[in-house]
Structure 1
Amino acid sequence: MEQRHLDFLKHLAAGVAAEFGSNCEVVVHDLTAAEHESTIVTLENGHVTGRSVSDGPSEVVLKALQHDTPELQDRLAYLTRTEDGRTLKSTTIFYRDENGLPVAVFGINFDITLLLAASETIASITDHQGGEKPVEIPNSVSDLLDNLIEQSVRLVGKPVAFMTREDKVKAIGFLNESGAFLVTKSGPKVCEFFGISKYTLYSYIDEAKKGTA
């Protein structure tokens, strides 16, 4: 591999490693090396996999050496594992010369073992029953009443303008069971929203309680 290509890849490796920290190994393999047992020419944070400069190829690199063709495809964000059981998120990119032939492999191996453990812990803490939509916490009883009215409309599944008598009974029944009418002056607001009289409201509440809707 030409020195200018190697210099560029060394600078790139150093930059990537600096950006993502000590858990990110960046390695460059020279596919044109005379000795296939010593393909690593640049290595940042080699402690991630325990490798050193002049060490040999990985399985991906070995396949590239065996099939030195332009058809070799990059592999992005796949999982690998170290000998001691740590999980890495890896990316393999083939660096090509002016003729499109792969002359180097630029590899990134990010140790995500602790992140996976943290993710599992967070998932166990944030797990909740049913997977339902979070219940909104209102700032006032007025907001609470508005939220309950919105829930009653979602329960019916259609706008008030298209609700039948039975639909309104169902909505009013929900509001009653939810304690909406314990809120001061909730009756007039509900009547105005559903376009019904105070007498009709009481009638719908009674009907919902009897389960005849």
Structure 2
Amino acid sequence: MDHSITILSEKEKAILESYMLSADGLAEFWGENCEVIIHDLTQLDASVVKIVNGHLSGRQVGAPISEVTLNFVNKMMATPGMNHVTYFAKNKRGEAFKASISAILGEKHQIIGLFCINYYLNTPLLSFMQTFTPITKTESENISETFVENTEELMLNALEDAKKTVYSNLTISSSNKNKEIISLLYQKGIFNLKDSVITIANHLGISKNTVYMHIRNMNK
């Protein structure tokens, strides 16, 4: 394999590390029948630096790259624009799985690692359904997500939710309602959005300086 990278820069190490965090999240989303692997291509004899649900293939951290994966790496390196591939395969036990290999690019856009997903197709339907079913009824009721077209809509939806929460709480005095609304929005990270202070101030009928004052007080 024509691969000139032998050492990763600090930035490239950070890139691989970020994919490792993503591996945990993806595996948790798809459940125990989804194997997620991160390969470091600077060490092919021990390329697996992260694996989740490794019981499916019997591999663990420190395992070498497979022949099939290595073959696809060569093809990706030789084919400009080919940064991922999806295929079907079977393991040595004859278990079928759908696989995806995506390139992890370094500082100079060279392939430094791989983000691999193997979903086993012999997963019982009940197990698959349980992965996408809330453990308790309360779990599904506590989270409501609204998808918006722009950040202003996001701000206003969050504002309406905060107002409903504050206005329904009879222990909050009228003079403190705006303060509590701003506090809830602050906790949700709304004020990290561009022009959020002005937007929220306008819809609450207060000055932006008042909003800034409440935010400063929360940071103390």
- Normalised by the size of structure 2, how large is the TM-score? 0.47
Pick the structure with greater CA Rg. Answer: 1
- Normalised by the size of structure 1, how large is the TM-score? 0.48
